[in-house]
Amino acid sequence: MAHMLQSPPRAVHRLLPVDPQVRAIAADLYDRVAQEPVISPHGHVPVEWLATDVRFRDPVDLIVTHDHYVTRQLHASGVDPAGLAATAEHDPRAAWRTLNDHWHRFAGTASGYWIEESLAEVLGIGLPLGPEHADEVYDAVAERLARPEFRPRALFRRFGIEFLATTDDPLDHLAHHAALADAGLGGRVAPTFRPDRYTDPGAAGFAGNVERLLAATGSAATFAGYLAALEERRHHFIAHGAVSTDHGVEEPYTADLEPGDAERLFQRVLAGTADAAQRREFRGHMLVQMARMSVEDGLVMTLHAGVLRNHSTPAFERFGPDAGHDIPVPTDFVRGLRPLLERHGLAKDFHLVLFTVDETTYSREIAPLAGFYPSVYIGAPWWFLDAPDAITRFRSAVTETAGFYRGSGFVDDTRAFLSIPARHDTARRVDAGFLARLVAEGRIALPMAERIIDDLVGDLPREVFKL
């Protein structure tokens, strides 16, 4: 791909360690995998983009207003997201200038890296962001977006995506996925079963959601009927290529209830008469049920835990959900997951991938759990932790306990389609740097490091996600 880069060293050695000896080893390791296919087993790219091969509207729509990493940082800087969205509607160039006026605030952030990298590597724009060249860059991006080779399907092929998972509602028809199976994309697009709004009594509209679920599957309004409905929808997803389910919870609390207790609790949460403790029990029991279903139907279970959603009620009321004020909280995987793991942790071929935003759990909880349970895999650094220094800390925190083969492989978890290559490239570079240090410090031999980096981007995610 043609480049117009800011400076040659950036492209060559970006994110590799500075020490010449380590950098040389890291560069060799990175070169082995730089062009390997992208496996993206969890993310949020709207399947419609690929199904309809939509033309991205404008630079602001693509890069600014729909990325809550970006809008939250602008919000923190005093930019009103609602005002910015309104501006973006009638004068996207003005909204783009706002981003560029604040670009120094993104220096050193994950979002800053991804956006700069996307512009340079995907769109081939060599000018820096910031007020000086804002208009030129805007025009350059807009020019690219008008071209057919920057539509989603063309980019999908160019990105070398082997597997891309979307995240979908259990009642989704999945027709888009079905259509894409024959689209000749050169890679697979699979749905992911995300049932939170049907399993968490605290979710908005929970009772109505369950009613729709029961109606759609013709199931009885009993706990057994409800479980059967969920199982049926999981099979629908499997039939459309799904390999995993995803669960987002504030705490990884699980509870293993007797059937009678579960039935009574189900009726209470449906009726809205359950108190907070009972809603928690139900939510926790449903994680155990989801694990049980995974044992039975083979779907990999991924758990994203430890985020308190919508911290600011006034902001939620103005901007809606996913507006950048979902904030991590301390997370207890060890006691929280124990009931689930007591029941299913040793089950053959059960895979449970744990994602955290509380990095204290890496060395204390997740690596020790994954170092024993064959079912438990260490999720790649996620959300706030999906950035070069945080990935380095992650590798350091988990490797000495669990090695390299109990991890999930990199997961981009993104809706920002344009940034997918930058994210995977970052992980490959940081992992190469980490391995290179171990080689240079005489801890592992170079051939072992080569095998590991190959596996980290290839066989490992394929094994963990059963591809």
Question: Given the rule CB under 8 A, which of 4-12, 86-94, 180-188, 226-234 is the region that contacts a copy of itself?
Answer: 4-12
Site string for a copy of itself, 201-240 (x = CB under 8 A): ----------------------------------------
Q: Using a CB cutoff of 8 Å and minimum separation of 24, what contacts does 268-272 make? A: 269/201, 269/206, 269/207, 270/207, 270/210, 270/221, 271/207, 272/207
Among residue numbers 32 through 91, which ones bind a copy of itself (CB under 8 A)? Answer: 72-73, 75-78
- Please report whether residue 188 would count as binding a copy of itself according to CB under 8 A: no
Among residue numbers 376 through 405, which ones bind a copy of itself (CB under 8 A)? Answer: 376, 384-385, 387-390, 393, 396, 399-405
| Alpha-carbon radius of gyration of the chain | 22
- State the nearest-atom distance from the C-beta of 316 to a copy of itself, in Å: 10
Among residue numbers 423 through 442, which ones bind a copy of itself (CB under 8 A)? Answer: 437-438, 440-442
**Spatial contact of 65 and 91, defined as CB atoms under 8 Å apart:** no
Give whichever of 297 and 372 is closer to a copy of itself, judged by the CB atom.
372
CA neighbor of 79 nearest in space, from 48, 106, 55, 42: 106
Give whichever of 146 and 346 is closer to a copy of itself, judged by the CB atom.
346
- Please report whether residue 445 would count as binding a copy of itself according to CB under 8 A: yes
CA distance 467 to 208: 35
Alpha-carbon separation of residue 462 from 178, 309, 454, 457 (angstroms): 22, 31, 12, 9
Binder to a copy of itself among 28, 53, 332, 459 (CB under 8 A)? 332
Give whichever of 14 and 240 is closer to a copy of itself, judged by the CB atom.
14
Give whichever of 137 and 174 is closer to a copy of itself, judged by the CB atom.
137
Among residue numbers 404 through 423, which ones bind a copy of itself (CB under 8 A)? Answer: 404-406
Give whichever of 190 and 439 is closer to a copy of itself, judged by the CB atom.
439
Tokens 């399993």 locate to: 199
Binder to a copy of itself among 191, 195, 324, 421 (CB under 8 A)? 324
CA distance 370 to 385: 19
Binder to a copy of itself among 192, 199, 245, 363 (CB under 8 A)? 363
Q: Which two tokens stand for residue 233?
A: 């929808």
Alpha-carbon separation of residue 9 from 13, 67, 136, 202 (angstroms): 6, 29, 23, 50
- State the nearest-atom distance from the C-beta of 79 to a copy of itself, in Å: 9
Amino acid at 423: R
Alpha-carbon separation of residue 432 from 212, 247, 288 (angstroms): 48, 30, 37
**Spatial contact of 79 and 324, defined as CB atoms under 8 Å apart:** no
Alpha-carbon separation of residue 227 from 238, 263, 351 (angstroms): 16, 11, 20
Question: Given the rule CB under 8 A, which of 170-178, 209-217, 241-249, 310-318 is the region that contacts a copy of itself?
Answer: 310-318
What does the DSSP 8-state code read for residue 161?
E
Query: How big is the chain, counted in residues?
Result: 467
Give the 3-state secondary structure of residue 38. strand
CA neighbor of 377 nearest in space, from 431, 337, 432: 337
Tokens 């950036």 locate to: 10
Binder to a copy of itself among 27, 370, 420, 453 (CB under 8 A)? 370
Give whichever of 146 and 308 is closer to a copy of itself, judged by the CB atom.
308
Binder to a copy of itself among 93, 374, 458, 459 (CB under 8 A)? 374
- State the nearest-atom distance from the C-beta of 298 to a copy of itself, in Å: 16
- Please report whether residue 319 would count as binding a copy of itself according to CB under 8 A: no
Give whichever of 207 and 329 is closer to a copy of itself, judged by the CB atom.
329
Among residue numbers 122 through 141, which ones bind a copy of itself (CB under 8 A)? Answer: 128
- State the nearest-atom distance from the C-beta of 279 to a copy of itself, in Å: 18
- Please report whether residue 369 would count as binding a copy of itself according to CB under 8 A: yes
Give whichever of 106 and 223 is closer to a copy of itself, judged by the CB atom.
106
Give whichever of 67 and 172 is closer to a copy of itself, judged by the CB atom.
67
Among residue numbers 85 through 114, which ones bind a copy of itself (CB under 8 A)? Answer: 104-110, 112-113
Alpha-carbon separation of residue 256 from 132, 269, 288, 340, 341 (angstroms): 59, 17, 6, 7, 10
- State the nearest-atom distance from the C-beta of 193 to a copy of itself, in Å: 25
Binding residues for a copy of itself, how many (CB under 8 A)?
93
Question: Given the rule CB under 8 A, which of 44-52, 155-163, 271-279, 448-456 is the region that contacts a copy of itself?
Answer: 448-456
Pairing mode, strands 376-378 and 38-40 = unpaired
Q: In what order do the strands lie in the sheet with 188-190?
A: 38-40, 161-165, 188-190
- Please report whether residue 152 would count as binding a copy of itself according to CB under 8 A: no
Question: Given the rule CB under 8 A, which of 29-37, 47-55, 153-161, 362-370 is the region that contacts a copy of itself?
Answer: 362-370
Give whichever of 103 and 157 is closer to a copy of itself, judged by the CB atom.
103
Beta-carbon contacts of residue 218 (< 8 Å; ≥ 6 apart): none
**Spatial contact of 19 and 27, defined as CB atoms under 8 Å apart:** no
Give the 3-state secondary structure of residue 167. coil
